[in-house]
Structure 1
């Protein structure tokens, strides 16, 4: 089997892509890699507590590795740290990196370019699938997921902290991708066929957070991670804090 690591965001697209890659039996997933904000001990962009991430990967049963970043990080620093990590993985005998991306061409190009620099190749199990069909198949398999972050420019407070189901899909505005592939919303997957047991949690407070882009960051924000776009221009988000149950 081909040795690979999986770029794990804790959300539904990661969960479904991992399910697909495990079902294929073509790749040996040696570890899950997640970017974590070292100041707040939360997953970058998603805002999920590191404690819940730990319980989630424990329920999946795969080794986990975390890459810690400061709350504010330039793309130069981000790229350097990622390159060092990828080079380390390559030295361990890994040849492939798996992602849950669906249709963002620029992001895929960026990923493949950075991977090629250290001799790795990208694998995209969900690539070019219709996102509405993808989400419905995800739900039909028994996966369960909840929104933990929504772009306040596009969605209101009522969309954060919600279980993703048929009602959620129907209520999304027409300009919103059903999988949130353009960064409209982010999720935490807590149950499904890749889990040995559901991850228990309680819903905490919902807060609106705004961020400021610095001129010296060249319009590239610290919210970049292995599962999102290279640039984040929207700066206001609703977060729902999930507390380990």
Structure 2
């Protein structure tokens, strides 16, 4: 069977790939949907150039699906892109978004593919602790009360996990970022042959949204 993983390079989708590999699924490709709209309802847009390098260090193929990033239309664009790949199954890092999972299930059904979502409804604290234990992921976007600019570039290690859980108690944010509170980027995982590196970093803030723009991935 030919399996691919939908990923933006963030912690959830990369952990889902690792869980799939652990389960004996041969993931042969990483697929990224690149939205023109940075406020896409379905897809992340930050630091997507990293995913091509992730595929290289994982010994996988890389496929990119362009999208205008408009709500619902981007689902059609993703389905058309996946249909062209001739896949038997798709791996997703969906954790709590019924919007995301229901649309992926519908696409998989129409295309005759299996859907593997190993993180679905996983406890948020347990998820974060597994990320801290198995991946090297950093925070690249902050967009919620309490998640100040100082969190940009922070590695999601045990200390950061405790800080996120504390923010959940104080501000009622989702500690795993499921409400768009933050976005992450994975620099290393067990299935990578080596960690990702980058040549430069730029911070950009607009209102309460803070973003770390990385360039020169290798």
TM-score normalised by length of structure 2: 0.84
Tell me whether 1:63 sits opposite 2:61 in the alignment: yes
Q: Give the aligned partner of residue 144 of structure 1.
A: 136
1:164 aligns to what SS in structure 2?
A: coil
Tell me whether 1:166 sits opposite 2:158 in the alignment: yes
Task: Provide closer, same or farther for how the CA distance between residues 106 and 85 of structure 1 changes in structure 2, counting only shifts above 3 A.
Answer: same
Correspondences of 1:165-184 after superposition (within 5 Å): 165-172=157-164, 173-174=167-168, 175-184=172-181
Q: Give the aligned partner of residue 189 of structure 2.
A: 192
Q: 1:157 aligns with which of 149, 152, 165?
A: 149
Q: 1:103 aligns with which of 96, 99, 104?
A: 96
- How far residue 79 of structure 1 moved from its aligned partner, in angstroms, is 2.6
CA contact (8 A) 1:145 1:163 kept: yes
Q: Give the aligned partner of residue 28 of structure 1.
A: 26
- How far residue 111 of structure 1 moved from its aligned partner, in angstroms, is 1.7
Distance in 1 (alpha carbons) for counterparts of 2:144 and 2:127? 24
Distance in 2 (alpha carbons) for counterparts of 1:121 and 1:191? 27
**Aligned residues: CA RMSD:** 2.4
CA contact (8 A) 2:34 2:45 kept: no
1:68 aligns to what SS in structure 2?
A: strand
Deviation string, structure 1 residues 100-145 (Cα, Å, up to 9, x no partner): 111223321222123222222321011222121122123223x211
CA contact (8 A) 1:46 1:149 kept: no
Q: Which has the higher contact order (CA 8 A, sep 6+)?
A: 1
Tell me whether 1:87 sits opposite 2:79 in the alignment: no
CA contact (8 A) 1:49 1:243 kept: no
2:156 aligns to what SS in structure 1?
A: coil
Distance in 1 (alpha carbons) for counterparts of 2:45 and 2:65? 15
